[in-house]
Amino acid sequence: MRLPLPQFRPVRQPDHIAEVVVTSSTEFTAQCLEPENLSFPIVPAFGSWVRSLSDGDDQTDETMVYGIVCHTCTMPIDSVHRATALGMSLQELREQQPQIFAMLKTETRVAIAGFRQNHKIYQHLPDRPPQIHQAVYACSQAEILEFTEELHFLRTLTQASSTPVDELIGAVLRGVYQVRKCDRAWLVQAGRHLSILLKEDYDRLGAILSQVHP
């Protein structure tokens, strides 16, 4: 009797959360990876930072693209199967309807904020977006701190499309403010930068900054 060969899954890094499935010059869409157990994918938070790779013509042109999660959607994997309310807990779904987890997918849309090339960070759009099927990783706190030393990425956020811009900016500032251990000097600098970008619309600026808290 011939035994079936064991199936091996590649070892996944803890911060490897998704894979690029749609890509464009200004943003990309990534499908969140399924967890090892019967559960729904880990969804990156609105306004959180992620990175993916954009390969150039040779290895010396390799570019790490940084972006901000601006939209997330969970949906059926095709147009035939439609999700319906079952009135079950997560544990009951695992026991009675385990196929549910394979019938849904979660996609997140990412606004490109800048990139790293030759060990230097640039806060404008890269020449090439991440390639299809590239891995998407959650950024570390060190990466967020380094990228947000400059504030030019805020202009990109004010021009984001198909997303609630003010809410996105508020979420980004709140997240970075927390990573920076409530550095008020940084927040004041960000507020001044935003004031110029928003053409001194202080009502709008105040609404954005009111979303920032420890």
The pLDDT of residue 56: 54
Residue 132, pLDDT > 60, answer yes
Specify the length of the chain in residues.
214
Q: For the ranges 27-36, 80-89, 139-148, 191-200, which has the lowest average pLDDT?
A: 80-89
Residue where the block lists tokens 């009675």: 96
Task: Work out the percent of the chain whose per-residue pLDDT is above 70.
Answer: 91
Q: Which residues pair with 114 in a beta bridge?
A: 66
Q: For the ranges 31-45, 113-127, 145-159, which has the lowest average pLDDT?
A: 31-45
Q: Which residues pair with 51 in a beta bridge?
A: 66, 137
Q: Tell me if 72 sits within 8 A of 44, measured CB to CB.
A: yes
User: pLDDT digit string (tens) for 40-61?
Assistant: 788 899 999 999 998 654 445 6
Q: How confident is the model at residue 79 (pLDDT cuts 50, 70, 90)?
A: confident
The pLDDT of residue 86: 83
Task: Work out the percent of the chain whose per-residue pLDDT is above 90.
Answer: 66
Residue where the block lists tokens 């060990």: 119
Averaged confidence pLDDT in the chain: 89
Residue 62, pLDDT > 70, answer yes
**Rounded Cα gap, residues 118 and 121, in angstroms:** 8
**Rounded Cα gap, residues 205 and 187, in angstroms:** 12
152 SS3 class: coil
The pLDDT of residue 45: 96
Question: For residue 155, how many other CB atoms are within 10 A of its CB?
Answer: 15
User: pLDDT digit string (tens) for 85-96?
Assistant: 888 888 888 888
Please state the domain extents for the chain. Answer: 13-147, 148-214
Q: How confident is the model at residue 5 (pLDDT cuts 50, 70, 90)?
A: very low
User: pLDDT digit string (tens) for 113-129?
Assistant: 999 999 999 999 999 99
**Rounded Cα gap, residues 113 and 141, in angstroms:** 16
Residue 28, pLDDT > 50, answer yes
Sign of CA dihedral 131, 129, 145, 198: negative
Structure tokens at 9: 């899954």
